[in-house]
């Protein structure tokens, strides 16, 4: 190891809480490219490459010295593979159901493996999925969207009709209102896939709902709300304010550059940026304009928040500012002391992420993380921060602030207002404990 590198590591270790000081940040970035291995993530486990592993491999590992067999033969025809699939070596990274959580054939949920993803876009095949009455693969030639109610002209659109209209593409996150819900009742689920995995972020393409409502001549004086109805077995219906409907709501047919997947609402779904996923009605078949809230079963009985006094909070659909560290996170293991890149995701249903702070001492001290571009409204934002682990037990946390000034609360702050009997809208700071043996687990810190 060079003298310059030794001095740099010494400066890192002496930095407050093990973080790199700002003056050393550019130098550290340059140096680590030459001596740090890339963190490996597979399933719920992660291994951080040791500093010297690259040097050892270069000196005498057979994978370097000997020409591999696959370079001596012709490969497979890509066309023969059909629809593109991930490498067989990545098969452990997949959506997973949580035992005991709404796990019946008619209603279930599968969680996105956040611990193994990079950037902000969720691959379509790993997008979380929540269904209330099974999922469908609908013939698009037979699917229709009706717009009725307080409009001058009620209309029925075919998929061809919709796809002829001016389209837009937007990147947004979608989060189930029950994401992180188990934490309300002191149930510390083991991995970030299960604590926060009802969260995804994709590029959606479709026509603005405002365009359709204008085409039908909606009643601008009396039209206060719209009702969105899906064609699934549960007849999912949700009320949305006309102001939101005329803002950034999409009637979408595509996700991540291709048609929607059946489990995500093929051939048509509603995209309601910043609002809990249940309002993103799948298999969209009808939009009705009305003069008051519709008080459907999924708004008055389900998706409500129980308050300490026994009253219910209704129509609390906005997903407040939130963040989570995805690496290191529960179920993962740090193999050795030394440098690590702490990384995670932040999001807000009210706009853009302005800042993310990270603590490695249970919330006593905080340092600002780097926000990676793009930083978009109502989309996931990736954050990173450099850290050197000295081998002692620590608790790591992240805290997000959005451009409205809202600060992600601590768990005890949220419980002081909401109690412990809620299911939905838990946006409290998540804590991960790293033991001296490197194992990472879920803990609750007040």
Is residue 281 over pLDDT 80? yes
Asked if the model's pLDDT at residue 43 lies above 60, the reply is no
Domain coordinates in residue numbering, the chain: 108-112+126-313
Lowest mean pLDDT among 143-152, 212-221, 437-446: 437-446
pLDDT at 4 over 70: no
pLDDT band at 123; cut points 50, 70, 90: very high
109/71 Cα distance (integer angstroms): 42
pLDDT at 19: 61
Q: Where are the alpha helices (DSSP H) in 36-117?
A: 53-60, 62-65
Per-residue pLDDT for 163 more than 90?
yes
| CATH fit for domain 108-112+126-313, picks 3.40.50.300, 3.40.50.280, 3.90.420.10, 3.30.70.260 | 3.90.420.10
Higher-pLDDT residue of 101, 48: 101
Biggest CA pair distance of the chain: 77
Cα(271)–Cα(175) distance, rounded to whole angstroms? 12
Please give the model's pTM, rounded to 2 decimal places: 0.86
- Local confidence band at 445 (pLDDT 50, 70, 90 cut-offs): confident
Instruction: For residues 160-166, give the mean pLDDT.
Output: 98
Alpha helix ranges (H) inside 177-252: 192-196, 209-216, 242-245
Instruction: Give the model's pLDDT for residue 25.
Output: 52
Query: Mind listing the pLDDT tens digit for each residue in 6-23?
Result: 454 444 444 545 565 555
Q: Count other Cβ atoms within 10 Å, centred on residue 307.
A: 14
Note the pLDDT of residue 299. 87
pLDDT tens per residue across span 167-176: 999 999 999 9
Query: Which pLDDT score is estimated for 12?
Result: 45
Please tell me which of 8-17, 79-88, 242-251 the model is most confident about, judged by mean pLDDT.
242-251
DSSP per position, 131-152: ESS------GGG-EEEEEESBS
Q: Report yes or no: 267 and 141 within 8 Å, Cβ to Cβ.
A: no
CB 360 within 8 A of CB 394: yes
By mean pLDDT, which of 27-41, 190-204, 317-331 is the weakest? Answer: 27-41
Work out the pLDDT band at 430, boundaries 50, 70, 90: very high
Read off the pLDDT of residues 178-212 as tens digits, 9 standing for 90 and up.
Answer: 999 988 877 778 999 999 999 999 999 999 999 99
């Amino acid at each position: 190891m060079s003298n310059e590198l030794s001095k740099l590591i010494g400066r890192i270790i002496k930095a407050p809480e093990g973080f790199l000081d700002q003056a050393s940040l550019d130098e550290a970035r340059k140096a680590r490219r030459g001596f740090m291995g890339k963190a490996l993530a597979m399933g719920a486990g992660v291994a951080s490459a040791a500093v010297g592993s690259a040097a050892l491999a270069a000196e005498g590992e057979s994978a370097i010295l000997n020409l591999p067999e696959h370079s001596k033969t012709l490969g497979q025809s890509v066309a023969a593979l059909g629809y593109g699939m991930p490498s067989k070596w990545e098969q452990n990274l997949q959506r997973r159901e949580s035992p005991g959580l709404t796990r019946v054939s008619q209603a279930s949920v599968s969680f996105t493996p956040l611990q193994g993803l990079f950037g902000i876009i969720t691959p379509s095949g790993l997008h979380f999925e929540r269904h209330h009455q099974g999922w469908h693969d609908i013939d698009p030639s037979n699917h229709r969207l009706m717009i009725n109610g307080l409009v001058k002209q009620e209309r029925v659109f075919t998929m061809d009709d919709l796809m002829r209209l001016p389209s837009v593409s937007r990147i947004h996150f979608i989060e189930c209102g029950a994401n992180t819900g188990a934490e309300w009742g002191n149930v510390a689920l083991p991995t970030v896939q299960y604590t926060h995995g009802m969260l995804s972020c994709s590029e959606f393409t479709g026509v603005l709902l405002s365009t359709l409502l204008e085409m039908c001549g909606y009643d601008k004086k009396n039209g206060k709300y719209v009702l969105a109805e899906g064609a699934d077995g549960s007849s999912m219906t949700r009320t949305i304010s006309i102001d939101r409907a005329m803002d950034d709501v999409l009637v979408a047919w595509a996700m991540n550059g291709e048609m929607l997947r059946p489990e995500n609402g093929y051939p048509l779904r509603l995209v309601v940026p910043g609002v809990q996923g249940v309002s993103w009605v799948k298999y969209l078949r009808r939009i009705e304009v009305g003069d008051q809230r519709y008080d459907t079963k999924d708004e008055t009985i389900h998706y409500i928040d129980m308050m300490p006094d026994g009253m219910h909070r209704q129509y609390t659909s906005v997903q407040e500012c939130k963040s989570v560290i995805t690496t290191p996170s529960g179920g993962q293991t740090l193999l050795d002391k030394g440098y690590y890149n702490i990384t995670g995701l932040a999001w807000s249903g009210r706009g853009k992420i302005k800042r993310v702070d990270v603590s490695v001492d249970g919330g006593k001290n905080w340092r600002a993380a780097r926000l990676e571009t793009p930083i978009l409204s109502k989309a996931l934002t990736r954050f990173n921060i450099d850290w050197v682990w000295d081998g002692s037990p620590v608790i790591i946390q992240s805290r997000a602030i959005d451009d409205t000034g809202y600060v992600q609360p601590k768990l005890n702050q949220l419980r002081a207002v909401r109690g412990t009997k809620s299911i939905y809208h838990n946006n409290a700071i998540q804590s991960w404990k790293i033991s001296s043996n490197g194992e990472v687990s879920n803990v609750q810190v007040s």
